C-alpha cells in the first residue's frame, strides 16, 4: 500500500504522487492527515480527496481548519484556507477520526492520543532530533498492532522497535520544510523540494518499506504561495529548507 501524509493543500505535489502510485500499480492508499492547511486554495486537494475516499485520519491542522471555519482564527494561514473551504469540505474534515485501525495496522497523525505531538521526533531547547525508543514505546502506550503509520513531523523515517513493531513515517507530500514553536522553536528540513510518500508491502517473510520522492512542478507551487502572500511557505516549498 501507499502511505501519504501532510499534503497541506499542495495539489501539484499530490497529483504527482498519485500518478507515481498509479504507475506502480498500487491500489491501496491511506492518508495520515493535514490535508488542506497551507498557502494554496485548498479546494482542489479537498475535491480530489473526497473523490478518492481514502482511509484518512485527522491531523492537527485539519482540526484547526474545522475550528477556524466555525470562529475566527489567530492563524493567518488557517483563516486563509477556512474562507475557501466549502461546507462539504469542512464537514468531511470534522468527521475524520484521530486514529484508524486496519487489519494489523494502526494509523494516526501525531501520536495515538495527541495530534500535536511528534512520535519519532523529540523537541528541546537545542532543536528537533530523533526520539529515544523508550520514549516512543511509552507514547504508544497499549497499542498492539505490529505495523504503525504516523506523520506530522514531515520527516521520512522507518523505525523498528525491539519488541518487533515497525513504525513508518512517509514524510510530507506537500511541505518539505517548516518552522514551528510548539514546545520549543525548531525547524524541520528535508533538504529537497520533492514530494514524499512511502510504499509498504506486507509479505509472508516480512514487511518491506520504500521511502519515495516524487518530482513535480514546485516552481509553480512556489509562485502560487508567493502570490497568495506566504513567502515563508514559498521558501520551504522551493528548497526543502527554512533559510
Least Cα distance to 13 among 200, 171, 187 occurs for 171
Least Cα distance to 172 among 79, 75, 61, 76 occurs for 61
- What is the number of other CB atoms lying within 10 angstroms of the CB of residue 90? 19
pTM of the prediction? 0.97
Strand-strand pairing, 105-108 and 121-124: unpaired
pLDDT at 204: 86
pLDDT at 72: 73
pLDDT at 49: 98
CB 37 within 8 A of CB 62: yes
pLDDT at 109: 98
User: 130 forms bridges with which residues in the sheet?
Assistant: 121
pLDDT at 144: 82
Q: Structural domains in the chain?
A: 2-99+170-239 (3.60.21.10)
10-residue averages of pLDDT along the chain (243 residues): 98 98 97 98 98 98 93 86 96 98 96 97 96 96 91 98 96 98 94 98 92 98 98 98 94
Amino acid at each position: 500500500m501507499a502511505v501519504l501524509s501532510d499534503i497541506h493543500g499542495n495539489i501539484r505535489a499530490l497529483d504527482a504522487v498519485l500518478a507515481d502510485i498509479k504507475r506502480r500499480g498500487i491500489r491501496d492508499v491511506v492518508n495520515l492527515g493535514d490535508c488542506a492547511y497551507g498557502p494554496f486554495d485548498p479546494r482542489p486537494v479537498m475535491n480530489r480527496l473526497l473523490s478518492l475516499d481514502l482511509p484518512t485520519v485527522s491531523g492537527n491542522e485539519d482540526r484547526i481548519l474545522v475550528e477556524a471555519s466555525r470562529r475566527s482564527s489567530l492563524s493567518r494561514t488557517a483563516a486563509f484556507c477556512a474562507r475557501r473551504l466549502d461546507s462539504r469540505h469542512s464537514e468531511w474534515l470534522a468527521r475524520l477520526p484521530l486514529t484508524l485501525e486496519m487489519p494489523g495496522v494502526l494509523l494516526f497523525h501525531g501520536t495515538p492520543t495527541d495530534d500535536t505531538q511528534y512520535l519519532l521526533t523529540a523537541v528541546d531547547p537545542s532543536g528537533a532530533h530523533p526520539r529515544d525508543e523508550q520514549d516512543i514505546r511509552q507514547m504508544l502506550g497499549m497499542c498492539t498492532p505490529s505495523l504503525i503509520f504516523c506523520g506530522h513531523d514531515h520527516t521520512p523515517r522507518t523505525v523498528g522497535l525491539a519488541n518487533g513493531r515497525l513504525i513508518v513515517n512517509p514524510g510530507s507530500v506537500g511541505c518539505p520544510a517548516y518552522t514551528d514553536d510548539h514546545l520549543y522553536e525548531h525547524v524541520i528540513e528535508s533538504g529537497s523540494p520533492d514530494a514524499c510518500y512511502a510504499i509498504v508491502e506486507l509479505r509472508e517473510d516480512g514487511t518491506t518499506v520504500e521511502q519515495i520522492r516524487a518530482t513535480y512542478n514546485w516552481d509553480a507551487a512556489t509562485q502560487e504561495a508567493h502570490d497568495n502572500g506566504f513567502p515563508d511557505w514559498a521558501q520551504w516549498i522551493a528548497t526543502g529548507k527554512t533559510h
